[in-house]
Amino acid sequence: MAGRWKRGIVLLLAVIMMLSVAGCGPEKEEPEQPQQTEQPEQETVTEQETKPSQPVSEVEAPSLEEQIDEARAKNDDIIGWLKIDDLKIDGAVVQAEDNHYYERKNEWKQYSWTGSFFADYECNFDSREDLSKNTVIYGHNVHFDDNKDGERFSQLFYFTDIDFAENHPYVYFSINGDSDTAVDEEEKAENDMVWQIFSVFYTTTDFDYIKINKDYKNPEEGEITDAQLMNIITEAKQRSEYVYDVDVTGEDKILTLSTCSYKYDKRNDVRFVVMAKLLDEGEALQKTVRLKENTSKKTVE
């Protein structure tokens, strides 16, 4: 009996030792995860990237509405406002029944040797849509040496400096619109206009660059045709001091700034002209443009 009890104790101890040894072994390792092969990154194409990038405007066009309203309160002959950055050309534009009334009057109808910025009497300014195909504005050059620091359109001679021209590609000319019609805010915004320069040139008056109507004696015949305007544009580009990378067609509306020049022996038939085309609303504006000298330009003879 005692022997069997002893053998039972021995067996029990042996089992306990075997279980203890099994419990001291290493913990069960997690099965190894299969290694993932590195996949090349796929570029995510966003909806924005799939669309052509839109040019960003670097220049904010000024609103000239307030200046026009204040000026018209003093003289209802004022039809708009003309501005070129960094020049004294920043003032009201008047229009009379002929092209002589404002030659020696300022925009307040007072006598002035330097005159005013005055629009050709044939031009129409009822609205942006109804603008003449060729909007012509005159101003005096009051110095026989074409001093670009003079008054009025003497300042246009700054465009004979290519650095200045490259950094001033726009003219801002805005209109009041039809004064007899109530104008809403949207239409007022449309009347703030930006014009991109495409030619600066010397010419004689033999070149009829100021043509507005087919026949100024019979304005009822209507304004010039697309083909006639294209002839003016082509000639202006051929005479330009620089080559501007600006597309202009006979379907565009253009702005013509004209003044006298005494570059050629103080002749009274020579003019200096800046021409620009009307841009679409919201078009991106750049601070500078790249120009090159027009080595084959037509010159004054």
Q: Which domains does the chain have, with CATH numbers?
A: 119-293 (2.40.260.10)
Residue 44 tokens, joined: 């995510």
pLDDT in tens, 229-273: 999 999 999 999 999 999 999 999 999 999 999 999 889 999 999
Q: How far apart are alpha carbons 24 and 210 in whole angstroms?
A: 107
For residue 75, is it left (φ>0), alpha (ψ between -120 and 50) or beta?
beta
- Backbone dihedral angles phi then psi of residue 70, each to the nearest 5 degrees: -65, -40
Q: What is the pLDDT of residues 98-141, one digit of tens each?
A: 999 999 999 999 999 999 999 999 999 999 999 999 999 999 99
Which pLDDT tens digit goes with each residue over 12-55? 444 444 434 333 333 334 444 445 545 555 555 444 444 556 67
What would the two tokens of residue 193 be? 């206009």
Nearest alpha carbon to residue 156 among 96, 212, 88: 88
Q: Which two tokens stand for residue 71?
A: 């000026």
- The pLDDT of residue 132 is 97
Helix (H) or strand (E) holding 203: strand 194-204
Residue 275 · residue 259 · CB < 8 Å = no
Instruction: Grade residue 187 by pLDDT with cuts at 50, 70 and 90.
Output: low
Question: Is this model's pTM higher than 0.75 or not?
Answer: yes
